[in-house]
Amino acid sequence: MDSYDKLMEICGFEPDEVVEYKPTLKQGLKKLLVTEKDVEFAITERLPKCWSIHLKGIRKLLGCWLREYIRIAIPEPGEARLCHTYFVQPGMAYLHPIKLADPTIQIGLPDVVASLVGSAFFNVGWKYVEAAEREGCAVEQITCSLNKIRYGLHVLGIVPRADVSIGFHTFCDDAPLVDQLIREWDGTEVCNPYRVRDIHFTGDPFDEENIKYFADSLRDGHRQLEELLDIKITPEYQAKARELFVNLSATIFAPMTGFMKADPVPLNANDLAYALLPVATAFDTGYDRIFEAEAILQAEVTQMIAEGKGVMPKGTPRISWRLLHSWGCPWLVPMCHELGLAADFEEGFLLGGGQLMKSVEAQMEADMYMMMAKQLAMVSALGTSLEYLYKTTTDHIAEYSIDGLIATSYRPCRCWTAHSHILAKMLSERSSIPCITPDLDIYIDRGDFPQSRMRTVLETFADVVKRSKEKKLKAASKGGN
């Protein structure tokens, strides 16, 4: 058994699949600049230490992501055209109708997938980033590494010139900007659905005029894609995509988020991200394997909860990451565990009651584009009102019994960082929840943010959170007496 066999074993491939898939895997990894040494690193360091690979469901999910990673470099033989997109929002409901309109179009999210797999499993994300930095994403100007990954994959010729790249102007400027560089580089046509970010600091995130504009822009984007890809996105395909989205939400999102309320918590933050992101992400390799893996995982987790098992002992302080944890640096999760923190919660996924209500409200929208626009506006993380951000964060803290928040300060993303800092200020002024804003890269692990420094920061934070929790417990027991 060589390292590639071992990799596939860890990633839940069945023996017959190993034989069948190995040549594609090796060819794909080579093209993606993943060396045998990188594979060794993944199978000895990253995967066993950072994910709950004793769970078959997790292994199978990792396999789904690995296949998706290979697919961005090696399209299926029948895939005649490529449609790439940035990030996961507004996600699969927008992209799946394109695949339904013509299955020979590859729908890929090269940046997300290359970060979630290339960076997280093999730590090669920096190779794509450095290629982008050589060709227009000046390193000293600091641009989001997720976008640099997307551009770098083009610069390196890893992904073929796409027929169209969709860079949503929703949260930040970097996505549409990097698309312009991709267009300049290899002529990839770009489509930039646009949200005007005149978002008030207080009040409801569903500002009627703003939401309608974004919904119409998304609709217009589909019209452009119809022209560019010579397809017809019919109401029937839209309805099917919506059906799939609702199905994914109901059968994956709802139960998995429910499991995370258990103490001890059954899954770690890495497990959770890879289990939940398929709800939002368009999988070119299909959803059958995802549903299968999720069903296995849910059965396993149900069993764990029944037996009182978890990733950390019951009563361990529960830490949440604002928006998302740093999936490019998965070592953070075991590091937190070593320090006695169950840093396994993500505010971006684990919605509080108010946000869930908003999500349901959005899903009731008859118009698919309005639904997507609303879904995006209620994502507390970015692009919404500051007071709503504060409200949803505190809802999440209450709902999941969170003892401390890590609001990552991700330097290359100004809006992420600004929101984190402002939220930390609001929390310190209005609540007793400890909150830190450490500098971290979310998408790659290049060493710009060293592990030793993070350990020092987290050690101090662990002390503060533990003392804060003790104090809360004492106060509660006094109140009880």
Which residues in this chain contact other proteins in the complex, by CB under 8 A? 135-138, 140-143, 167, 169, 172-174, 176-181, 183-184, 190-194, 196-201, 209-210, 213, 216-217, 220, 386, 409, 411-412, 414-415, 417-419, 421-422, 425-426
Q: Is 16 or 140 the residue whose CB approaches other proteins more closely?
A: 140
Q: Cβ of residue 386: shortest distance to other proteins, in angstroms?
A: 6
369's tokens: 């584009």
Q: Is 287 or 416 the residue whose CB approaches other proteins more closely?
A: 416
Q: Is 116 or 175 the residue whose CB approaches other proteins more closely?
A: 175
Q: Cβ of residue 199: shortest distance to other proteins, in angstroms?
A: 8
Q: Cβ of residue 217: shortest distance to other proteins, in angstroms?
A: 6
Cα distance between residue 13 and residue 20, in whole Å: 10
Q: Cβ of residue 335: shortest distance to other proteins, in angstroms?
A: 24
Q: Is 58 or 181 the residue whose CB approaches other proteins more closely?
A: 181
Cα distance between residue 304 and residue 2, in whole Å: 32
Cα distance between residue 208 and residue 169, in whole Å: 18
Cβ proximity of 70 and 136 under 8 Å: no
Q: Is 192 or 320 the residue whose CB approaches other proteins more closely?
A: 192
Q: Is 190 or 454 the residue whose CB approaches other proteins more closely?
A: 190
Closest CA relative to residue 135, chosen from 172, 190, 182, 174: 182
Cα distance between residue 107 and residue 225, in whole Å: 12
Q: Is 232 or 425 the residue whose CB approaches other proteins more closely?
A: 425
The secondary structure element, H or E, covering residue 68 is: helix 56-73
Q: Cβ of residue 86: shortest distance to other proteins, in angstroms?
A: 12
Q: Is 84 or 242 the residue whose CB approaches other proteins more closely?
A: 84
Cβ proximity of 407 and 322 under 8 Å: yes
- List Cα–Cα distances, 421 to 155, 378, 435, in angstroms: 34, 20, 10
Cβ proximity of 393 and 431 under 8 Å: no
Give the largest CA-CA distance in the chain.
Answer: 71
The secondary structure element, H or E, covering residue 404 is: strand 404-406
Q: Cβ of residue 171: shortest distance to other proteins, in angstroms?
A: 8
Q: Cβ of residue 188: shortest distance to other proteins, in angstroms?
A: 11
Q: Cβ of residue 213: shortest distance to other proteins, in angstroms?
A: 5
Q: Cβ of residue 457: shortest distance to other proteins, in angstroms?
A: 16
Cβ proximity of 368 and 246 under 8 Å: no
Half-sphere exposure of 346 (CA within 13 A, CB side): 23
Q: Is 421 or 474 the residue whose CB approaches other proteins more closely?
A: 421
Residue 259 CB partners (closer than 8 Å, separation 6+):
266, 267, 298, 301, 302, 305
Our CA angle for 157, 160, 165, nearest 5°, is 115
